[in-house]
Structure 1
Amino acid sequence: MDIIFEYHDIETSDRLEAHATEKLETVFTRYDFVIRADVFFKTENTSDDETGKICSIRLSAPGPRLFAESSHDNFYDAISETVNDLLRQLEKRKDKMKTY
């Protein structure tokens, strides 16, 4: 399990990395075929107060890569929503991988 963090236009944060690692642990535990996660944090200027902090996660697994992105007013909510989106995608991928 490898987790690679990239920051665009923000400072690095150990708390963000710890939170993302904690959330991604469930992914790596439930789906052992996931090899690596690339986590991207970036900000954008928006007129909406509820968006602007973006978390993107790309997972490397057999088949096409899985990707999810969300934007919230803080990175913690963005991480949680992105991981939930990836869990839904992984469940679909696992169903397709089942052998009968």
Structure 2
Amino acid sequence: MNNNIRVQFVKIPVSESLNTYIENKVSTLIEHYPFIKSGTVFIKKELKNIERECVCELELHVPGKQLFASSNERHFEAAVKETIKQMTHQLKRTKETVFVRH
């Protein structure tokens, strides 16, 4: 994966399979939006919400902005997928507004 994107497991054991899943999803984002400079993915559990305890937070740095997306789901893979979906929407808007040539 791009060396500028870090994956951090917060107070939970590192899962190689989940790490690989995240790397694949984020790599796809970077391929579609090469203006991404760096970012961090945080994987953690929320103890207050047992129904949707798996949390994925994604923070990306793009020229002139910092973007953030987060989701809580039953499973980490679903949280990653939803967070990537939210971030994709933000990246599309950023690309349209910041990188449009007049």
**Which category describes the TM-score, using the shorter chain as reference length?**
over 0.9
Cα separation, 2, equivalents of 1:37 and 1:16: 17
SS at match of 1:65: strand
- Runs of 5+ consecutive residues of structure 1 not aligned to the other structure: none
Match of 1:44 in 2: 46
Match of 2:65 in 1: 64
Residues 12-27 of structure 1: pairs in structure 2 closer than 5 A: 12-27=14-29
Q: Deviations over 1:33-53 (max 9, x none)?
A: 00112000110123542x001
The sequence identity of aligned pairs, in percent, is: 27
Number of equivalences: 99
Which residue type is aligned with residue 13 of structure 2?
A: E
Cα separation, 1, equivalents of 2:7 and 2:23: 10
Instruction: Compute the RMSD of aligned alpha carbons.
Output: 1.2
Which residue type is aligned with residue 55 of structure 1?
A: C
- Runs of 5+ consecutive residues of structure 2 not aligned to the other structure: none
SS at match of 1:54: strand
Q: Deviations over 1:75-98 (max 9, x none)?
A: 000000000000000000001121
Cα separation, 2, equivalents of 1:70 and 1:89: 14
Which residue type is aligned with residue 36 of structure 2?
A: V
Match of 2:78 in 1: 77
Q: Structure 1 stretches (4+) deviating beyond 3 angstroms?
A: none
